[in-house]
């Protein structure tokens, strides 16, 4: 019995998760979070980070060592970053800026981590970039621009959506490069059922084809924008975000109806939209983040699943909505990301839902101030062998769900059914490392235990 040892009992075992300040945060709104090469890259409208005078205009990098500049003091001009993606081994950023680091760059630039330097991409574009993606070896660029290659001496009149193949710009539709989209730009690109969808605030394609409003398909073989829905069955307002989850495309935005579906989040199967029970019906949904078992939803809404959630919520694969702590304060959550096994959010908020101070970026962590009281029960975790653990539920704690995640946020174990006092579970044998154990009570509260497996 040399391995038998109790790791946690009662009060020291289980914490309720709460929102935490990320190393002083930023001084203004965060627009995009992008985990890359062991760091969390943060873009937005800020000028300093870390609660100090560290200059990082529009972009900064966060690691366990704190905040760092990215290739210099940040972006020039309006100095705002809205989108990021990796392409060709470099970090491509888009936004509203006239330079970045030490170079001139019009709203589009590439960061090389090997040299900690920036370079322009294709002579840039003449308006803000709002969406970036990589598709079939090409960089897709969406934004409020009407020309590309503006610094190259021969601008091309490609509006709102363009392709960069690493050496030249290409029009998504060579027959209509200037009027491909009307009234707005793509806000996200997503591949679903082997088709590339673009979503955003555009109100038509090809001058006046409103059957392609807010969501459409780009067919690369035909080099055409195609409708994504039947006539009269589209959304009535902007779509800001998209995520593939549980073999469906989930969409969030300002819309209140999408065909016969209602709510600010809908499920799209490739031909029509369906309502999602409990989805927010007011405010806006600005970000979706899918994991194998959950869909995280964020924006400006305050209600989901019949409960107060305050701008961020989680939808389980069983259709149950849950709050994440007290949620977040005014005004909005713009972006979500998993980094080192933890959920990070960015936006325009300066408090959590309970009024505790935050600074535009936060993570959903655990803290000693949220310990369970003795009357709320406990979990008992006992190591019974190398990497082997036995988990027991103690009265009166009753759980509806138990999940174990590795440090990358990947699900490695999930229990099924109701877990009642007196029950014991043998966890799968774990490799050495840090894991997060998340439990949901019958009341819908999320609880968290951080485990260092040996």
pLDDT of residue 438: 79
Distance CA 267, CA 278 (A): 12
Q: Answer whether residue 405 shows pLDDT above 80.
A: yes
Q: What is the band of 395 on the pLDDT scale with cuts at 50, 70, 90? A: low
CATH class of the domain defined by 5-9+373-453: mainly beta
Q: What is the mean pLDDT of residues 381-391?
A: 77
Q: Answer whether residue 376 shows pLDDT above 80.
A: no
- For the stretch 31-81, pLDDT in tens is 999 999 999 999 999 999 998 889 999 999 999 889 999 999 999 999 999
> Which residues are CB-contacts of 394 (< 8 A; sequence separation ≥ 6)?
10, 377, 378, 379, 380, 421
Residue burial 159-196, b: 16+ Cβ < 10 Å; e: rest: bbbbbbeeeebebbbeebbeebbbebbbbbbbebeeeb
Q: What is the 8-class DSSP label of residue 364?
A: E
Q: Answer whether residue 447 shows pLDDT above 80.
A: no
pLDDT of residue 245: 97
Within the chain, all domains assigned CATH 2.60.40.3080 are found at 5-9+373-453
pLDDT of residue 443: 67
pLDDT of residue 388: 82
Of 106-120, 193-207, 289-303, 409-423, the poorest mean pLDDT is in 409-423
pLDDT of residue 17: 66
Of 142-146, 225-229, 272-276, 426-430, the poorest mean pLDDT is in 426-430
DSSP lists the bridge partners of residue 99 as 76, 104
DSSP lists the bridge partners of residue 200 as 186
pLDDT of residue 4: 46
The dihedral through the CA atoms of 415, 419, 421, 423 has a sign that is negative
Distance CA 404, CA 318 (A): 17
Q: What is the mean pLDDT of residues 373-381?
A: 55
Q: Tell me which residue of 32, 162, 46 sits closest to 85, measured CA to CA.
A: 32
Q: What is the 8-class DSSP label of residue 429?
A: P
Distance CA 266, CA 329 (A): 24
DSSP 279-318: ---SS-EEEEEE-SSEEEEEES--EETTEE--SEEEEETT
Within the chain, all domains assigned CATH 2.130.10.10 are found at 19-366
Q: What is the band of 9 on the pLDDT scale with cuts at 50, 70, 90? A: very low
Q: Answer whether residue 325 shows pLDDT above 70.
A: yes
Q: Answer whether residue 273 shows pLDDT above 70.
A: yes
pLDDT of residue 7: 41
Please tell me the number of Cα atoms within 13 Å of 96 on its side-chain side: 9
pTM for the predicted model, two decimal places: 0.82
Of 138-152, 302-316, 409-423, the poorest mean pLDDT is in 409-423
Q: What is the band of 379 on the pLDDT scale with cuts at 50, 70, 90? A: low
Q: What is the mean pLDDT of residues 417-439?
A: 82
Domain covering 19-366 assigned CATH 2.130.10.10 in the classification: yes
Of 97-111, 178-192, 204-218, 404-418, the poorest mean pLDDT is in 404-418
Q: Answer whether residue 450 shows pLDDT above 80.
A: no
- On average, the pLDDT of the chain sits at 90
Residues making up the chain, counted from first to last: 454
Q: What is the band of 367 on the pLDDT scale with cuts at 50, 70, 90? A: very low
Q: What is the mean pLDDT of residues 106-114?
A: 98
Please tell me the number of Cα atoms within 13 Å of 330 on its side-chain side: 0
């Amino acid at each position: 019995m040399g391995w038998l040892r109790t790791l946690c009992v009662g009060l020291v075992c289980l914490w309720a998760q709460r929102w935490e300040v990320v190393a002083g945060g930023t001084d203004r709104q965060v627009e995009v979070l992008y985990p890359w090469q062991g760091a969390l890259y943060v873009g937005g409208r800020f000028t300093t980070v870390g609660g100090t005078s560290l200059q990082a205009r529009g972009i900064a990098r966060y690691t366990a060592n704190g905040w760092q500049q990215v290739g210099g003091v940040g972006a020039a001009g309006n100095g705002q970053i809205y989108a990021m993606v990796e392409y060709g081994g470099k970090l491509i950023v888009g936004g509203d800026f006239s330079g970045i680091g030490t170079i001139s760059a019009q709203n589009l630039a590439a960061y090389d981590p090997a040299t900690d330097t920036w370079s322009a991409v294709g002579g840039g574009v003449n308006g803000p970039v709002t969406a970036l993606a990589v598709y079939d070896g090409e960089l897709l660029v969406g934004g409020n621009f009407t020309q590309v290659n503006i610094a190259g001496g021969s601008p091309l009149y490609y509006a709102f959506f363009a392709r960069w193949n690493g050496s030249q710009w290409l029009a998504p539709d060579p027959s209509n490069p200037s009027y491909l989209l009307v009234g707005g730009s793509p806000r996200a690109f997503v591949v679903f059922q082997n088709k590339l969808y673009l979503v955003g605030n555009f109100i038509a394609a090809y001058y006046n084809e409103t059957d392609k409003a807010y969501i459409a398909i780009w067919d690369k073989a035909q080099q055409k924008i195609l409708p994504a829905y039947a006539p009269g069955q589209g959304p009535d307002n902007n779509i800001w975000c998209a995520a593939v989850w549980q073999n469906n495309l989930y969409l969030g935005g300002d819309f209140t109806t999408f065909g016969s579906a209602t709510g600010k989040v809908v499920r799209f199967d490739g031909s029509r939209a369906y309502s999602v029970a409990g989805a927010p019906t007011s405010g806006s949904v600005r970000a979706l983040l899918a994991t194998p078992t959950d869909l995280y939803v964020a924006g400006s809404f305050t209600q989901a699943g019949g409960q107060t959630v305050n701008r961020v919520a989680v939808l389980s694969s069983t259709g149950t909505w849950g709050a994440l702590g007290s949620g977040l304060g005014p005004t909005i959550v713009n972006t979500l990301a998993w980094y080192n096994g933890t959920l990070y959010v960015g936006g325009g908020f300066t408090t959590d839902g309970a009024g505790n101070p935050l600074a535009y970026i936060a993570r959903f962590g655990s803290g000693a101030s949220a310990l369970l009281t003795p009357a709320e029960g406990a979990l008992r975790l006992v190591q019974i062998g190398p990497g082997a653990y036995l988990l027991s539920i103690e009265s009166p704690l009753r759980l509806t769900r138990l999940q174990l995640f590795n440090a990358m946020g990947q699900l490695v174990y999930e229990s099924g059914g109701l877990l009642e006092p007196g029950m014991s579970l043998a966890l799968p044998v774990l490799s050495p490392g840090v894991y997060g154990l998340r439990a949901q009570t019958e009341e819908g509260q999320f609880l968290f235990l951080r485990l260092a497996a040996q």
